Amino acid sequence: MSRAGTSFLSQSPGAVVRPEACAPFVPRPSQTWRLYRRLVRTEIAFFAPPEMPPEADVLKLCMQAAPAPGVCNFCCPTIVIDLTPPEEALWDGIEAKSRKVIRQAMREAVAVADVPLTEENWNAFRAAHETLRSRKRKADALGVGQISDLAAKGQYVMTVSRNAEGAILSWHGYARGHGHVRLLNTVSAIDPARDTAWNNLVGRANRLHHWRDMLRFKSDGVTSYDLGGVYRGEDDPEQMNIARFKKSFGGAMADTFDAVLPLTGKGRIALALVGLVSAEARSGT
């Protein structure tokens, strides 16, 4: 990822590329999260550090291309697809088996489209995510706090895939800015209680969903598509299957970094105590 310009931490790629319309609705995080934010002024910077020091107690750097100097950084391995080549080259970069599945989903009239972040759509998405968590013990918390921060900045994008009858088969939620998008949330309508035909259709739709999203963002000037983290280990079969799925779209391995910087005495105290709060509460879920 290229970086140009200056900031008080490191190089900055310049102005944020925002969606054409800001989200009209901002999800409401948990009461614990909201209380913390009232007590501790927190500035969030996605993809690149701010150009000037913010007037805040804490600065959170998320999804950065390079580690922040002088502080502890959390490294997130991921796969990033360069969207600048022609569409034909992107298509050729997808594994042949996945291309076949995508074509079949097209023939089945699966449709992919943006959906506005309204309260109604948010409630439907959150319900789908809760259903996912009820059947998948290792499913991550939704991270409502981070989504709220992104939505407030107009940097959260939600897309869905639907079958020919209009039923939602999959949801994708993205952070967007500085010419990049990062997949944050993916929820599919896989249901062990339903037949194989349904679940196979959902699997095909999710592959087409990624492909259509890649083209949607490419046409909008986005240059890189981050698949939101990838498992590099060999001990978790479920995570290894997800990693194989993500690798099937091509792209290159990369590392992104998160860091939290205290800017005031209050910020240092807050960060010293935040470990006493559960991870789910910290996520605002």
Q: Give the model's pLDDT for residue 138.
A: 66
Whether residue 91 lies inside any domain: the answer is yes
pTM above 0.85, yes or no: yes
Whether residue 199 lies inside any domain: the answer is yes
Residues 6+ apart with CB under 8 A from 76: 63, 229, 255, 256, 257, 258
Range of 121's domain? 78-254
Q: Structurally, how many domains does the chain consist of?
A: 1
Whether residue 132 lies inside any domain: the answer is yes
Most confident of 2-11, 193-202, 234-243: 193-202
DSSP H or E segment with residue 138: none
> In terms of C-beta density within 10 A (0-12 exposed, 13-18 middle, 19 or more buried), how is residue 41 classed?
middle
Whether residue 185 lies inside any domain: the answer is yes
Judged against a pLDDT cut of 50, whether residue 149 lies above it is answered with yes
Whether residue 226 lies inside any domain: the answer is yes
- Over the stretch 169-213, which tens digit does the pLDDT of each residue have? 999 999 999 899 999 999 999 999 999 999 999 999 999 999 999
Whether residue 5 lies inside any domain: the answer is no
Whether residue 89 lies inside any domain: the answer is yes
Whether residue 35 lies inside any domain: the answer is no
Mean pLDDT of the chain: 89
Q: Mean pLDDT throughout 100-128? A: 97
Q: Give the model's pLDDT for residue 88.
A: 98
Tell me which of 56-65, 118-127, 209-218, 267-276 is least confident: 267-276
Residue 132: which CATH number?
3.40.630.30
Q: What percent of the chain has pLDDT over 90?
A: 80
